[in-house]
Amino acid sequence: MEDSSIQYQYFNRELAWIEFNKRVLEEATSDYHPLLERLKFLIIFTTNLDEFFMIRISGLKEQFIQQSNELSADGLTASQQLFRIREQLLPLIESHEDLFNTIILPSLAKQGIKLVNLNDLNEGHSAYIKGLFVTDILPVLTPLAIDPGHPFPRLLNRSLNIVFLLTDHKKSHSKVAVLQVPPILQRLVPINIHPNHQSFVFLEHIIQEHADILFPGYTVQESHFFRVTRDADLDIAYDEAEDLMSEIAEQVRHRRWGTDAVRLEVDASTSPDVIAMLTNALEITDEDVYLTHIPLNMSDLYTLYKIDKPQLKDVPFLSRQIPEFLGSASELFEHIKKKDILVHHPFDSFTSSVVRFLQAAATDQDVLAIKITLYRAGGSSPVIEALKTAAQNGKQVTAFVELRARFDEENNINWAKELENVGVHVVYGVLGLKIHSKITMVVRKEHKIRTYLHLNTGNYNVTTSRLYTDIGYFTCREDFVNDAIHLFNMLTGYSHHEHWDRFSVAPDDLRLTLLDLISHETTQAKQGKPGRIIAKMNALVDRDIIDALYKASQSGVSIDLIVRGVCCLIPNIPGLSEHIKVRSVIGRFLEHSRIFYFGNAGDPKLFLSSADWMPRNFNNRVEIMFPILDKRSFAMLEHILSGYLNDTKSSWLLTEQGTYEKNDKHSPELNIQQSFLNELSAFKQFPTKLRSL
């Protein structure tokens, strides 16, 4: 590709991720969201950062240690990236702390939710807290001495800790001790101060205040809170592991402790000497230290979100029940036989569609077999229960369990064992690949054997189905079914099936199919025909795809990208990407659906997929993309995409500098997620005549 006015034609992935988390933080600043929802966004910001450090930063540090010569897409070394990341994170963290301390905390207090300082308690409340410490807290605490005979302890990854500097009354010697605040104890301790208020004190403050009881015979000179984040990426030689489940279970246990430290968070009052001692013990540098002015481990503050204050949260909603699925099992299958059915979660109920589909299959006497891919199913799951019921009813049930779903490995192992115990045949992935596709196949004996499919852009997880936007699709089209049969056979045995009727499958041909579709739009535009691409996804990183989009733009193809998170494509560059707009929607629901539209000179094509446009999805995962052939479903998706393109309330536009600007300069005002909720509450159906894309 010809060079443009910029040296590199891709944004840095890590810096693009920081921009995404910045947009999450911006949601917390908006009074459009109720107060406790704003607190939730602040918590999400910190948990996002935790994962970023555990996975992405740890990877860069490994590159740096190994003196790798590999450059990022924008030409930076690992060292340069680490410098730039810290440079951009520091002001973001400062904004996060300022918002929490000056806006959220005072606003919570006005609403009767208070985080109380121990110094503000009266004698009676102080006595109560002291008694609570002695009876309920002290027995659980284990202070650890640090001296030549007691090296610095191996602290749990992301645990909250206190370091104490002590003086021996008898010997006047200075001592150091470290205490890991027990995670089994309630972090926010309720205290009854005012009948109309819900007040809490922090557990670590109670421990700090009563350290003289914890260390009798010593004077506490200093005490400070700190938290260590460690490398948490699993290191598994999949081709060498004889028992993959046992190996992953062991690695998950290991993750709790982590390996090398990648970040040290300490409260801002910590003395330089203590920080130096901690950095030396953890074998990190000053650049890995982050001073904080807010409580560490903010995810514990989710306790406040659970308080029964509905006026401080999003208005609850009832998802639409799927009428085709409300009858008997035979009626449900008959409806799918007559027409494809598309559902849009969370606005369409996951329980009354997907779960009902599986429950019907589990109990219907004519169903012979069920096959399903499971990536993230959560904890207690009606999906798992339906599969267990099916097996107990004599159905042949096969579950393809992905044990390597990051941070869900333990959940997956637990319910994989549950499934095996009731006779489900559990298959643990494909060597070298993650099974990320979302598909269920139900085989039913009618006047002939008929197979029904459910395909989804998201996971079989009831909890997240209320929090994420995703698209599900039910069909029994024979060409879809043939592809599904070959896909499942590829997952269980030896199969090099290549000629898919309708599916595009990674790692076989998904990238090539998308490149062909983009190339076709490019050719159409060169011939003077209208070229049009709309793509909605979570992340855009793959350089082959980005280069193809640049070529399409240079040929005049109009391209709209709706990318929630990381986008490495640079828009709005004359001669390169001037016909490409990139927007990101951040709102009440996590945008998770992947929808791809190609204009095809007036005969448009629409596809749904489990895959984002990233190298890992194309190269290292089993993914599927499939076309929408049903006219009503097609119209519904056009309506959905049109709404995102017209959003002026919750969307952001990516600039050529890599920053985002709020897309609120146009009218009328539209929050697309709220619009979908309004359609739901008004019992409106998708319009038959839709805006042109």
- Residues of the chain with pLDDT > 70, as a percent, come to 91
User: Can you give the pLDDT at residue 13?
Assistant: 95
Q: Which active-site residues does the annotation give?
A: 436
Query: What tokens does 30 get?
Result: 């908006």
Q: What is the mean pLDDT of residues 530-549?
A: 97
User: Can you give the pLDDT at residue 641?
Assistant: 97
pLDDT digits (tens, 9 = 90+) for 135-166: 999 999 999 989 877 888 888 889 999 999 99
pLDDT exceeds cutoff 60 at 6: no
Give per-residue burial for 654-671: e unless 16+ CB within 10 Å, then b: bebebebeebeeeeeebb
> Mean pLDDT, the chain, as a whole number?
89
Q: Which of 673, 1, 7, 6 is nearest to 344 (CA)?
A: 673
User: Can you give the pLDDT at residue 683?
Assistant: 52
pLDDT digits (tens, 9 = 90+) for 581-591: 999 999 999 99
- Weakest-pLDDT range from 4-8, 38-42, 430-434: 4-8
Go through the domains of the chain in sequence order and give each one's CATH number: 13-312 (3.30.1840.10), 323-492 (3.30.870.10), 504-681 (3.30.870.10)
β-pairing, 580-585 vs 558-563, is parallel
User: In this structure, is the dihedral angle defined by the CA atoms of residues 252, 254, 255 and 260, taken in order, positive or negative?
Assistant: negative
pLDDT exceeds cutoff 50 at 489: yes
pLDDT band at 658 (very low <50, low <70, confident <90, very high): very high
pLDDT digits (tens, 9 = 90+) for 273-301: 999 999 999 999 999 999 999 999 999 99
User: Can you give the pLDDT at residue 689?
Assistant: 42
Q: Which of 446, 396, 442 is nearest to 422 (CA)?
A: 396
* Per-residue H/E/C for 577-623: CCCEEEEEECCCCEECCCEEEECHHHCCEEEEECCCECHHHHHCEEE
- The kind and range of the H/E element at 240 are none
pLDDT band at 404 (very low <50, low <70, confident <90, very high): low
Whether 403 and 428 have beta carbons less than 8 Å apart is answered as: yes
Cα-based distances in Å from 161 to 89, 265, 295, 665:
23, 10, 12, 47
User: Can you give the pLDDT at residue 568?
Assistant: 97
End-to-end Cα separation, the chain, in angstroms: 29
User: Can you give the pLDDT at residue 570?
Assistant: 97
d(CA 256, CA 233) in angstroms, rounded, equals: 11
- Weakest-pLDDT range from 234-243, 517-526, 577-586, 595-604: 234-243
pLDDT digits (tens, 9 = 90+) for 606-637: 999 999 999 999 999 999 999 999 999 999 99
- The kind and range of the H/E element at 427 are strand 425-427
- Residues of the chain with pLDDT > 90, as a percent, come to 74
Q: What is the mean pLDDT of residues 74-103?
A: 95
pLDDT exceeds cutoff 90 at 574: yes
pLDDT exceeds cutoff 90 at 438: yes
User: Can you give the pLDDT at residue 411?
Assistant: 65
Reported pTM: 0.91
pLDDT exceeds cutoff 70 at 494: no
